[in-house]
Chain A
Amino acid sequence: MPNRTDKTLAETRSELLTTFTDADWQSYNHLVKWLRDSNVPARALKVGDTAPDFLLPDADGRLHSSDQLRRNGPLVLSFFRGGWCPFCTAELCALQGAKDDFENVGATLAVITPETRHFPRELKQSLGLDLMVLADVDYGVAESYGVLFRVPDETKAHYSGLGFDFGARHGSLEWKLPIPATYVIDRDGQIRSAFVEPDFTIREEPAQILTSLRQAMSMS
């Protein structure tokens, strides 16, 4: 299990930002501006929309359907960028820490990565996660939720320079990433809460997700 800390994701974010190099800041500012200017977040599914169905393999190649995941209660679905991103790994550790709280209110938690092959398995092992990590092979689910974007060339150059080969990690020649997003979906497949943030350093706090879950449960 990852070390539980009392830090919020906002506090962890502040710490991680202090480690940014000039090149990191330049790339970060460019990508967030590009995403806002391109209006990518406007395409994302919103509260009240019907969540698209999916069938995805987990890190061990076992299939899970959305139908099955929300059979017994609401589903918390969180899109993250990959095991290479420190903001994602911080979020995953925070979600791992809150997993029992989600389950105690009858919810199921699944996180979705664009990474394939051994990468999701290795991520789970390295962070000691027992979360359900689903692999969005060829980006179909992120696309259907409207949270997918093609990585702009400047960002691609920056990440390549850091040694991140998304082609190998995703098993695709296209370099695409999801905007980090967290959805609460009720048993009928309706989206009850949507957190979509083009600034990839900002993630929904688990406490806020729990509040959304309780609201969703009280309305159903």
Chain B
Amino acid sequence: MELHQVRYFLAVASTLNFTRAAEQCNVTQPALTKGVQKLEQELGGQLIYRERQLTQLTDLGKEVLPMLERTLASAEAVRRKAREFQRKEVAPLKIGLAPSISASLVLDPIAEIAKFVPGLHVELRENSAENLVNLLLEGEINAAVVGDVQDMPDRIDGWSLFEERYVALLAPTHQLANRSSIGIDDLHETILLDRDGCDVFPKIKQSFFSEKSAQLGHCSGHDLHLQHMAAAGFGVILAPEHMPCLPTLKIIPLKGDQVSREVRLLAVQGRRYSPALDAFVKVARLRDWSIDVAQRSIPQALAPQVAGASA
């Protein structure tokens, strides 16, 4: 099936007149008729009744009409996209974020590069650090922001962006809410809310629960669900300090040797960077990621409360 055949058929279907359809497609009537006949051969049946005074669609013609309309629209969209790419009107940038990395962290860099990269179109994807590395290698994403990663392949470039501590998020009515800091003994006696697939829990477990198991309460795969549960007094969340949190939660630092992690930017070594990716990597590697600055520079309409800002 060729696109010009589809276009000829759709012109006949809309005008129900071969002469006007040929004019609309800017071809001779015999050429248009030949094109429609080839399409009919390919689809295995007559699409149009050709009668002297009456041209109308057959049942098959009516059935395939929506499909062929979609085919033409889709093909034209692809061509339009290609033209936009050539004119750099679309600059896709796919960024992977590990589950504990807040999207709010990349908003300011995205706003910055949008000033210089016309047509910037960002897609954010959440996945585990290991899966993000695979997505990078497969070319499904262009960059990833992750916490601690084990066994990084040689083909991945990584840059340290910043280090962040962990804090406790809890309801103002929680029994620990008036503490200035929370120690390991307190944590052993506290119900923790559990995030499915949490990429930081192994480190928390190693630091705080190597001798005594954590008391895990309700769970969810979404941070906001957990925060609502914490605000309702169901338990405590241990979270990286950059994570945005509900204003109804209290943020309390952990006592003693705090658990911290390094947040890293990843991209594939040697792969040619698009202008959007190039700008993103450069801005990310220079940006001041300290919490006050990060919070201040998030576009205001989007600014959440950042965990460490009031700690």
Contact = CB atoms under 8 A, between A and B. Distances in A.
Given A55-B116, A61-B112, A62-B112, A137 B281 contact: yes
Contacts of B278: 55
A137 B287 CA distance: 12
B282 A171 contact: no
A71 to B, nearest CB: 14
A116 interface: yes
Contacts of A117: 160, 285-286
B283 to A, nearest CB: 5
Given A55-B116, A65-B116, A116 B286 contact: yes
B279 interface: yes
Interface in B159-205: 159-160
Interface residues of A, number: 18
B107 interface: no
SS of A interface (majority): mixed
Contacts of B69: none
B115 interface: yes
Contact of A61 (B115, B159, B160, B287): B287
11 contacts: A55-B278, A57-B282, A61-B288, A63-B113, A63-B282, A63-B283, A117-B285, A135-B285, A135-B286, A137-B285, A137-B286
A59 B116 contact: no
Interface in B99-115: 109, 112-113, 115
Nearest to A133: B286
A120 B286 CA distance: 8
B114 to A, nearest CB: 10
B115 to A, nearest CB: 7
A63 B279 contact: yes
A118 interface: yes
Interface in B255-285: 275, 278-279, 281-285
A32 B116 CA distance: 39
Contacts of B115: 63
Interface string B150-163: 00000000011000
A61 B286 contact: yes
Interface string A114-142: 00111011000000000000010100000
Contacts of B288: 60-61, 118, 121
A58 B279 contact: no
B93 to A, nearest CB: 14
Interface string B127-161: 00000000000000000000000000000000110
A58 B275 CA distance: 17
A56 interface: yes
A117 B279 CA distance: 15
Interface in B59-78: none
Contacts of A135: 282, 285-286
A58 B116 contact: no
Contacts of A61: 109, 112, 283-284, 286-288
